[in-house]
Amino acid sequence: MSDARDIARLVDEAHRGHWSAVLASTVRLTRDFDLAEDCAQDAFVQALRTWPDRVPDNPAAWLTTVARRLALDRLRRETNLRRKLPLLIEDAAPDSEGERPTDPLRLVFTCCHPALAQESQVALTLRLICGLTTREVAAGLLIPEPTAAARITRAKKKISAAGIPYRIPSDAELPARLDAVLTVVHLVYTAGHVAAGPELIRPDLTGRAIDLARMLVRLIPAEPEPQALLGLLLMTQARGDARVSEDGELVLLADQNRSRWDPRLLAEGVARATAALKAGHGRFALQAAIAGLHVTARSWEETDWAQVVRMYDAMMALWPTPIVALNRAAARSLVPEADLVAVLEELDALGESPALKAYAYLPATRADVLSRLGRTAEAAAAYQAAIDLTASETERRFLRRRRDSLPL
């Protein structure tokens, strides 16, 4: 008999590590998102009840088996089974078959079908593939929680009504789906890289995103953008250990000990980013190029900020979003002899964008520029605004320290 707290911890770890695989395998059986989600959740509840007697050797297989058995029981009780199969699996498999390695990728492609609005694709994938709560989905997308819930519900209904297939699309269909899938995988990584709550990093989400990016590269090796995304994620992941100090506090890139970066991940990330840039200049290739400029510089001070700004200029031409504009303004502020007043005016103009109203990095960037201009009272107010918008407790503590260190 195991301690209840230990079992709860094990089940939580299993949920973080195996939720998407359990759900994806169950969806392949039921062809019904709501039913599969209910059964997957019930499997984790059963684990809380039965694992105190004996923890299985393979928790993922146990959870998948239980979820699929619950789903079969529910399906057998349905008298109108044919109307309960909205997802059309084109390569039928025996019901007894368990998880397939590509099941999570099938689930992502299903959620990112062009029949769905892109904002619904992203919300649904974050909910299903990551097991994020609706509140976490809303925080990741910078939207109100009711809006996130409505998008998820609408997407599920649309999949059911349109009979969207649960499969990886054919070569001819891939171009229309790829950008949305890449965006979602990047957002999954971001949700784990700066997680809401007490932990700065959720390794389950960052690891899942890297696994999905690797699957995409294997699926379409000639496409540069999956290569670029994987390179970007690997270069970001390589800096992970240096982002947190020994006492658990956030360390910005400028202050990180670069000897703590993972050289193996850096080498692979730079190689993949370089290969992608030789083959094309999509938005993920440009983002990977920016990451490459950071990781190949010998120090923060030696970073080629003018080149970073040029990369952001290219991104603005290709993908003119408010967040890209904010990142460009932040990079402009770091160019030697930058006109900080002009940068501040640009940041203030960006503050009118609805997409950035609840984005903590905008007031945090303003606070940094204001403090460098010597306008400490305004900087303190901007730091407080960023603190109020930040969901990560680690980032909140960092911002408080920045605010409190301002000269009187």
- 143 three-state secondary structure: coil
pLDDT at 103: 66
pTM for the structure as a whole: 0.79
pLDDT of residue 91: 42
CB atoms within 10 A of CB 334: 17
Based on its alpha-carbon atoms, the radius of gyration of the chain, rounded to whole angstroms, reads 23
At residue 79, the pLDDT reads 52
Per-residue pLDDT, 89 = 42
DSSP string, 57-96: SSHHHHHHHHHHHHHHHHHHH-S-GGGG--S--SS---TT
pLDDT in the model for residue 78 = 64
Q: 10-residue block means of pLDDT along the chain (408 residues)?
A: 77 82 83 84 90 88 91 74 47 44 72 82 81 78 84 86 74 78 88 78 86 89 94 96 89 93 96 92 94 94 96 94 96 95 96 90 97 96 96 92 91
CATH fold, domain 313-408, is: 1.25.40
133 SS3 class = coil
CATH of 1-81 given 3.40.50.300, 1.10.1740.10, 1.10.357.10, 3.40.50.970: 1.10.1740.10
CA separation for the pair 275, 221 (Å, rounded): 11
Q: What whole-number distance in Å separates Cα of residue 148 and Cα of residue 256?
A: 35
Question: Which pLDDT score is estimated for 367?
Answer: 97
How far apart, in whole angstroms, are the C-alpha atoms of residue 18 and residue 79? Answer: 32
Integer Cα distance of 396 and 123 in angstroms: 25
pLDDT of the residue at 102: 55
| Cα(396)–Cα(198) distance, integer angstroms | 10
**pLDDT at site 95:** 41
Q: For residue 352, is it left (φ>0), alpha (ψ between -120 and 50) or beta?
A: alpha
8 Å CB contact between 189 and 195: no
Other C-beta atoms closer than 10 Å to the C-beta of 191 total: 23
pLDDT at 96 (0 to 100): 41
Residue 92 is predicted with a pLDDT of 40
Of residues 268, 264, 284, the one with CA closest to residue 276: 284
Q: Check if 1-81 and 313-408 are the same fold.
A: no
Q: In this predicted structure, what is the pLDDT of residue 339? A: 96
pLDDT score recorded for residue 302: 94
Domain ranges of the chain: 1-81, 313-408
